Amino acid sequence: VRETMAIIVNGKLQPLPAPATLEVLLHALRPSYPFAVALNNEFLPVASYELCLLSDGDSIEIVNPSAGG
């Protein structure tokens, strides 16, 4: 039986087969381009997605360009 874990993506619970990297998660979610990511409130540069192993309970923020003043 494959293990699953629960991570939080933009405030919502997201089940994910374990183990998984951030790249796997992003491949599944397909956020619109361009986007940036923070893991547990820390910015994560794009170059680190491939090696970033997610853990149960991790909190991910995925943000896109938006209107601002």
CB-based contacts of 18: which residues, under 8 Å, 6+ apart? 2, 3, 4, 5, 56
Number of residues that bind other proteins (CB under 8 A): 24
Note whether 28 binds other proteins by CB under 8 A: no
Given the complex with other proteins, which of 4 and 64 has the nearer CB atom?
Answer: 64
Could you count the other beta carbons within 10 Å of the beta carbon of residue 60?
21
Note whether 37 binds other proteins by CB under 8 A: yes
Q: Given the rule CB under 8 A, which residues bind other proteins?
A: 10-11, 31-38, 41-43, 45-46, 61-69
